[in-house]
Structure formats: C-alpha cells, structure tokens
Amino acid sequence: MTAGVYLRPTGFVDAPFGHDGQVLRLAGGLCWFSQIEIIVAEDGRRTRPSLVPIERLDGALAALGPLENAGRTILARLTAPRGPLALGARTVRLDQPQAMAILNLTPDSFSDGGRLDGDPAAAVDAGMRLLEAGAALLDVGGESTRPGAKPVWEGDEIGRVVPTIERLARAGAALSIDTRKAAVMEAALDAGAGLVNDVSALLWDDRAAGVVAARACPVVLVHHQGTPGTMQKEPRYADVLLEVYDWLESRIAAAEAVGIPRSRILVDPGIGFGKTLRHNLALLNGLSLFHGLGCPLVLGASRKRFIGALSNEASVEQRLGGSVAVALLGAAQGVQLLRVHDAVETVQALRVWRGLRDEALSPV
C-alpha cells in the first residue's frame, strides 16, 4: 500500500493584517489563506481529509508520522515566491495574475476560425493590440489541439508561426510557442520565443525535453489524458484532482532528470484535455492544491466546451462571461498565468481584482 499527502490552501482572506500566525501567503502572490485541507491518500483513495487552521498546522503535520517530511516540503512550496520569467528583453512578474493571450495561426482554430492563418502582418497587428491591452505575453500556436484535431506536419507548423514570432520579437514582445514538436520549438526559440507551452508535457516528441533543457528556457507542462483525437472519448479518473496532481509531479520529476530545473517549470492542469464536465469543475474548485508542486500555475479554460455546457450550450463566441468568471476564480486561487482568448476583457477584470487587493492591503 502506498500513501501520500496533499495540502490544499483554503480559507482565503483579503489581507494578513491583524492575523499574525493565522494566515500564510500563497506562492509570494496577492492571496493569503487561513486554513489548509490536509488530504492523506492510500493507493489513490482519500482516507483522512482534515481542515486545519494555520495556527494548528505544525501539530497537524507532526501527527502525519512518516508523511510529515513530505507535508513540510509541500508547505514550503506553497509559500515560496515564484520567480519572474525572463523572456527575451521582457520580464514577466509572477507575483500577481497575468494574462497570457492566445494568438492562433491555424486554419482550424475552434475559437477564431483561422482568421489569421497565412497572414503574418495581420497576426502581428493582432498580437500588438493584445499587448497594448495589457497582456503580459503572447502564446503563439500553429497546430490546433482541440478535441478531434489531427496532427500537423512540423514544416507547416514552422511556416505558420516563425514569420509572426520574428516580427513580434523584433517589436519587443514576450512570446511563448504552443507546440508539441521539438523542431518547432527550436525554430520558434531561434525566432525569438522565450517559453515553450507543450500540451503533451514533453511526451509527444522524444527530442522535446532535450531541446528545452539545452535552451534553458521555461516550459509549461500540461496534463492530458489521451491525444487530441481521442482525449474526449470517455475519460476516466478515480479522483481527478489527486491523479492530475500526481501525474504532473511525475512529469516534473522526469523533466528534472534530463536537466530542466523546477525553477523553469510551469504546470497546467489541462482543463478540457481528457476531462468531462465534472472533472473540469473538480479541478477548478481545487486549483490551489497544485501550488504544492512548487511551480507557477497556468490556467487555460478560456471559451472551452464546459462553459457552453453550463450556459445552455452557448457557442464559442458566446462564452466570454464564463471565461472571465473562470479567470477570476483562478486569480482568487493564486494562478499566475491565465491563458485567454479575450485579453481586453480579462485584463480589465484582473485590474478590478487587483484594485480590490490593493485596497485591502492599504493601511487604514
């Protein structure tokens, strides 16, 4: 029988003032929590969940016996600040939630119908407008990974993304390349991208992990079950929150083993990548658990199918309200990067959220 422990921050408060010894700061950001749900699992099944106030946490961890050291390691990760991302000439701070704007250059994007495919000038204009609106970085992609999507030849993918990345990099933009393929990673990094966002978590291409390690660039590891062609065919989990956490932990360990330090790894629970509606909602409710991995969190839930399912089957273009709601949920649980289609509206929502934080943290 294998046993594990998990810590989920909860009981969030507006500010730490007057709560000495009763609250902790989450990942060096703008969220403070007053309680932790300690979850002990044996063979993947929860056996001893308990809700512990911060002032009693030391004793609760000591009571874990052989799991105490693991619990204290997770606690240290929960509270450790996340360092900024150095992306070319730009630095993206991770002590507050930031918008990671999606720039799709595919002919079959589920969200924009391929309006930028084959037109680098229009793509650059669109990207600059997203940055002017307040997006911290652009995530450029040349292959759709929506459910049912077919793989794209790497040469075509490179041809779609490189001209736009080169122009945006010359303009000083912070850029990410959304790809599973090592050759595309290399070409995009050469063109000026600074971060790799891999929906396969470096499993699709045998060379991918080596490329990321050799280039010393940050990487986003995204959880998935199956491939884009199969991932929505009856996905199953016994406990989706713990299984996704364990899977990401194993991928972090694999990345570290090939020379990618945890300090350069970001994780994404993969909303919609092999999950039912209930799986997605369970992950969103439990997002704060993933800070225990010690990596910045990326949340990509914008315009996804589950939003439509909760809104009378609203079409993709009618999912703005739900997308912003989920982005704010992520911000309230300490998510550092929110991957979004609607950057203008999301940035405005985050600015209001930040204004509320600033007021709570201002001396009376």
Tokens coding 208:
């991918």
- Collapse the DSSP code of 295 into the 3-class scheme (helix H, G, I; strand E, B; otherwise coil) and give the result: coil
Q: Which one of 160, 304, 305, 357 is the catalytic residue?
A: 304
Cα-based angle 213, 262, 8 (whole degrees, multiple of 5): 150
The span from the CA of 285 to the CA of 282, in Å, is 5
Count of CB atoms situated within 10 Å of the CB of 352: 11
Residue 306, both tokens: 């589950």
What are the tokens at 297?
């969190």
Please indicate whether residue 339 is annotated as part of the active site. yes
Question: Is 45 in a helix, a strand, or coil?
Answer: strand
Residue with tokens 């956490």: 245
Residue 232: both structure tokens together: 């929505």
| Total number of residues shown for the chain | 364
Residue 22: Cβ-neighbour burial (10 angstroms; 0-12, 13-18, 19+): middle
354 is catalytic: no
Beta strands 337-340 and 219-222 are: unpaired
Set 180, 181, 275, 339: catalytic member: 339
Cite the active site residues. 304, 339
